């Protein structure tokens, strides 16, 4: 993998890698638009992505990097585990968690407890295949063909043909 990355090193920012790593370079340090390795050269064991900005990376060292946009950091740190991301993806169900927020309502400050959707496999920006993993852009010619076949099967089943 690193050999492939070195072939197109001009596209990557390797400045956060350990100095003794074979890919280490300060050439593209903090340059906007360059790919950056979130694990800084540490091997990844498993990656689960539910939607953009909602993913979990499990490293070989046992370290877990979790992201969930719109969910309080304390909830992500304390309650969300890599297994929950995997369960959410495989079982295709939403996960809810309680979080406490300070809000102003009619100029009155208050502390409220929210039951917020923390993890969700539903991604409305792309078409998701039946396996729950593969995605395609809406309007893709294969998506239209597969949807037509699925609708035809459903109609045949309903009509008893």
Domain ranges of the chain: 126-161
What integer is the mean pLDDT of 111-119? 93
68 and 76 Cβ atoms separated by less than 8 Å: yes
pTM: 0.76
Q: What is the pLDDT at residue 124? A: 81
Q: With 90 as the cut, is the pLDDT of residue 127 above it?
A: no
* pLDDT band at residue 111 under the 50/70/90 scheme: very high
| Burial (Cβ within 10 Å: 0-12, 13-18, ≥19) of residue 116 | middle
DSSP states of the chain as a string? -HHHHHHTGGGEE-TTS-TTSTT---TTTT-TTSEE-TTTTPPEEEEEEEETTEEEEEETTS-EEEEETTS-HHHHHHH--HHHHHHHHHHT--EEEEEEEEEEETTEEEEEEEEEEEE----TTSEE-TTSS-EE-TT-HHHHHHHHHHHHHHHHHHHT-
Q: With 90 as the cut, is the pLDDT of residue 151 above it?
A: no
| Burial (Cβ within 10 Å: 0-12, 13-18, ≥19) of residue 24 | middle
Q: What is the pLDDT at residue 108? A: 94
Query: What is the chain's mean pLDDT, rounded?
Result: 88
**pLDDT, tens only, 76-95:** 999 999 999 999 999 989 99
Q: What is the pLDDT at residue 11? A: 93
């Amino acid at each position: 993998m690193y050999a492939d990355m070195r072939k197109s090193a001009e596209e990557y920012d390797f400045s956060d890698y350990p100095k003794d790593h074979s890919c280490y370079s300060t050439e593209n340090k903090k340059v906007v638009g360059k790919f950056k390795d979130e694990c800084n050269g540490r091997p990844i064991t498993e990656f689960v992505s539910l939607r953009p900005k909602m993913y979990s990376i499990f490293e070989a060292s046992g370290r877990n990097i979790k992201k969930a946009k719109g969910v309080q950091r304390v909830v992500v740190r304390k309650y969300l585990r890599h297994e929950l991301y995997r369960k959410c993806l495989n079982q295709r169900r939403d996960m809810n968690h309680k979080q406490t927020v300070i809000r102003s309502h009619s100029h009155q400050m208050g502390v409220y407890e929210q039951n917020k959707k923390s993890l969700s496999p539903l991604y409305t920006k792309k078409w998701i295949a039946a396996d729950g993993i593969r995605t395609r852009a809406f309007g893709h010619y294969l998506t239209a063909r597969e949807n037509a076949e699925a609708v035809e099967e459903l109609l045949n089943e309903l009509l008893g043909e």
